[in-house]
Structures are given as structure tokens and as C-alpha cells.
Amino acid sequence: MSTKPSQRTEKTIRFVLANHETLVAAGLSSFLQDLPGIQVIREIPLGAKTLSMVSKLRPDVLFIYLSMAGYEEMEIAARIAKKMPELAVIVLSINTSVEYILQTLHAGIKGILSQRSSYDELQTALKSIFQGQVYLSPALPKPVLESCRNYFADRKLPVVQLTFRQKTILHDIAEGKNTKEIAERLKVSSKTVEFHRARLMDRLGIRDIAGLVRYALRTGLVQL
């Protein structure tokens, strides 16, 4: 993150920092404490007790670090955002895939920063959030920002933008069918299924089958 601003704002914004990685938390805490107008009142672990702890502390902002494989972390953030809609939940997300960022937005997170965000940008994010807007870092990849704009246009996750064949293959993958089984059901070659699966993963920014399954579950394409 780049140069630090020198001016201080009059109102102090009370932050709680939630993180499960001690070294990262120490770095983030130091970073936040150096910003004008911000006070880190508590550092807490990110886990099952986070919601109850935040409810007692009642900060202005909950700042959460989401690691590269942070789907469980994101679920915790989503529960907090749902239970405490008045709280400004901001995340610093290392995972900037389309699927992950859209799921984060859908969870009710009000601000998303990336590891490429600057010191000044957090102040911009806070201003936008306290004006009732959702803040997305311009440092996020362009395909992600475009997908987010589409999401805000109709409040639907991009499963509706997939082709019928892509939706069908995604559904079958989520139900546990392998490439051969899908090919036999659709009466196409295995290479055709692999081609559509690769296009599907590229479209959603998902890197593995587990990610496709999670996406299908979250968008309601399949039910447990």
C-alpha cells in the first residue's frame, strides 16, 4: 500500500479488526492505527465467536482480512452483515476472482479492498460507505468490476448469464457427476464437456471443481 495521508479528520472512526492470522493482523492493525481519524479499539479472532464479540463492542467499522481460500471466512462476514446491517463491514480480499467477489457483495459486505489498494483509498471507501454506497476498489480486475456492475443492475448472480449448456454442466458437476457421466447424459463427447467446463470456469473466475460446486449451491442452481 502506498503513501499515508497526513491530515486528520475530526471524527474518530472506531474499528474492530477481525483476522485469523496473527502476523497479518499485526500488520493490518499497524496500518489502520497510522491512518488519520481511525482508532482500532480491538483485534479479535475471525471465527464462530466473532459475531457475539462485535455485537458487544459495537464499532463503526468491522475490517476483515479474507485470505485466498477464505470461503468460510466470507460466510462469517456474511452472517455478521446480515445480523448487523447498520455496521460498515469492509473486507481486504486477497481472492479477487469474479465468483468470490460477487459472493462477497451478495453477502451484504459494504466495502471491498484489494491488496493493491492504497492508504488513501480506505478513506475514500469510508466516505462512500457512510453515504450509503457500496465501495469497490478500482484496483480490482476489470472483469470483476464489470461483473459487479452487471450484478448491481439486476441484483442477480451471473448464473443467469450462463448459456443453457453451461448451466446444465454446472448443475451436473454440482451433483457429483464426472465428465464421462455428463457426456453420456448429454450425448456429447468428453472433450466437449471439458471445453464447456473450462469456459464456465473462465467465465466465473473459478479455478477448481470445489469452487463450481460452492457457486452452484450459493446461487440455488442445486439444493442440498
Q: What is the pLDDT of residues 29-40, one digit of tens each?
A: 777 777 778 888
Q: Are residues 41 and 83 in the same domain?
A: yes
- 18 has which bridge partners? 44, 64
pLDDT in tens, 121-170: 888 999 999 999 999 999 999 988 988 888 887 766 655 567 778 888 99
Q: What range does the domain containing 65 cover?
A: 13-154
Q: Are residues 180 and 149 in the same domain?
A: no
Domain assignment present for 223: no
Domain assignment present for 44: yes
pLDDT in tens, 91-112: 998 888 877 788 788 888 999 9
Q: Are residues 79 and 41 in the same domain?
A: yes
| Last residue within a domain, chosen from 154, 177, 207 | 154
Domain assignment present for 7: no
Q: Are residues 47 and 79 in the same domain?
A: yes
Q: Which residue has the higher pLDDT, 174 or 162?
A: 174
Tell me, what CATH number does 198's domain have? Answer: 1.10.10.10
Q: Are residues 76 and 167 in the same domain?
A: no
Q: What percent of the chain has pLDDT over 70?
A: 86
CA distance 110 to 121: 14
pLDDT value of residue 128: 93
Q: Are residues 149 and 206 in the same domain?
A: no
Q: Which of 66-80, 185-199, 200-214 has the lowest mean pLDDT?
A: 66-80
Cβ-in-10-Å burial (0-12, 13-18, 19+) of 189 comes to exposed
Whether 73 contacts 92, CB under 8 Å: no
Q: Which residue has the higher pLDDT, 9 or 121?
A: 121
Domain assignment present for 224: no
CA 43 → CA 21, 32, 111, distances in Å? 11, 11, 19
| pTM for this predicted structure | 0.67
| Last residue within a domain, chosen from 154, 178, 207 | 154
Number of domains in the chain: 2
Whether 110 contacts 61, CB under 8 Å: no
Q: Are residues 106 and 208 in the same domain?
A: no
Whether 143 contacts 98, CB under 8 Å: yes
Please provide residue 189's backbone torsions phi and psi, each rounded to the nearest 5 degrees. Answer: -80, 160
Q: Are residues 185 and 165 in the same domain?
A: yes
Q: Are residues 30 and 140 in the same domain?
A: yes
Q: Are residues 148 and 168 in the same domain?
A: no
CA distance 122 to 110: 12
CA distance 39 to 46: 19
Q: Are residues 108 and 174 in the same domain?
A: no
* Angle between the N-to-C axes of helices 190-204 and 98-106, in degrees from 0 to 180, rounded to the nearest 10: 50
Domain assignment present for 8: no
Q: How many residues does the chain have?
A: 224
| Last residue within a domain, chosen from 154, 169, 201 | 154
Q: Taking residues 78-89, what's their average pLDDT?
A: 91
Q: Are residues 150 and 195 in the same domain?
A: no
Q: 114 is written with which cell numbers? A: 484489494
pLDDT value of residue 35: 78
Tell me, what CATH number does 136's domain have? Answer: 3.40.50.2300
First to last CA, the chain: 41
Rounded to the nearest integer, the mean pLDDT of the chain is: 83
